[in-house]
Amino acid sequence: MQQVLLILPVVAPVLFWAAYHYHKDRHLPEPPGNLLLCLALGFVAAAISKGFYLALDPLGLRFDAVGLAEDRPVALLIYALLAIGPIEELAKMLPFLVVVLRFRAFDEPLDGIIYASFIALGYAAVENYHYLAYLNELEAVARGFAGPVIHILFASIWAHWITRAHLARRSVLKAAALGFLVAAALHGLYDFLVLRQPVAALPIAAVLIGIIWVWRLRLMRDMQADAGRRAQES
């Protein structure tokens, strides 16, 4: 029973956000098997991310971000922008490009965000499980709900770019590169602000996340309305 309670901060947020996104896609829902596969791809993405970080070790380029936050803020900013953000966004994006774009059911603008969100949920679940050993109960709950949101938001940026190109039959790689650069930069900036933790930084991070959340919410609302019209016509 105690072990179940320990992993609750990991499992409960994933179930909540999975149900949330499944409901958002209610007009033309994706096959449950595709969504479960994307969740599993998130686990794969976490392993890819771990591999990227380990590859930095022989090069002497892997650092303790928390240690940098204490007395080397400029180094932390560089590390967050050139390592943390790019590694984590690329790790999530690769399974999307290799596997998800092959789904036959991938035929609506909203689909890309839904699939990317499930990959992000799988990634966040692995990441949160890893951090459980270092957090107290309150911190575990806070991270359990915040982590998936952060990964979902940044993944939605490159997913939207890629989806537009994919459905319009334009260059997916070009769109992926642009979306990746934006998502990685914002992810790195967010991590820098949160890790640095001066009083002024956390409100700035909250505003950054709030702006992306509102953008995503409006985007999904428009896509839902379009999906609803298509469902009525079919």
pTM for the structure as a whole: 0.92
> Two tokens at 15?
């179930």
pLDDT of residue 129: 86
Distance from C-alpha of 39 to C-alpha of 122, rounded to nearest angstrom: 5
CB 189 within 8 Å of CB 154: no
pLDDT tens, per residue, the chain with 234 residues = 445 555 777 788 899 999 999 988 887 789 999 999 999 999 999 999 999 999 988 777 676 776 777 778 888 999 999 999 999 999 999 999 999 999 999 999 999 999 999 999 999 999 988 877 676 677 777 777 888 999 999 999 999 999 999 999 999 999 999 999 999 999 999 999 988 876 778 889 899 999 999 999 999 998 888 877 776 766
Q: Show contacts of 104-110: CB within 8 Å, 24+ apart.
A: 105/30, 105/31, 105/34, 106/166, 107/167, 108/28, 108/167, 108/223, 108/226, 108/227, 108/230, 109/163, 109/164, 109/167, 109/223, 109/226, 110/24, 110/25, 110/28, 110/220, 110/223, 110/224, 110/226, 110/227
C-beta of residue 97 within 8 angstroms of C-beta of residue 69: no
**Nearest CA among 101, 116, 137, 164 for reference residue 6:** 137
Cα–Cα distances (Å) from 53 to 11, 45, 83, 121, 133, in that order, read 25, 12, 8, 20, 20
Query: What ranges do the domains of the chain cover?
Result: 2-226
Whether the CB-CB separation of 106 and 166 falls below 8 Å is answered with yes
pLDDT of residue 2: 46
Helix axes 137-167, 85-98, angle to 10 degrees: 50
pLDDT at 135: 67
Locus of tokens 């260059």: 171
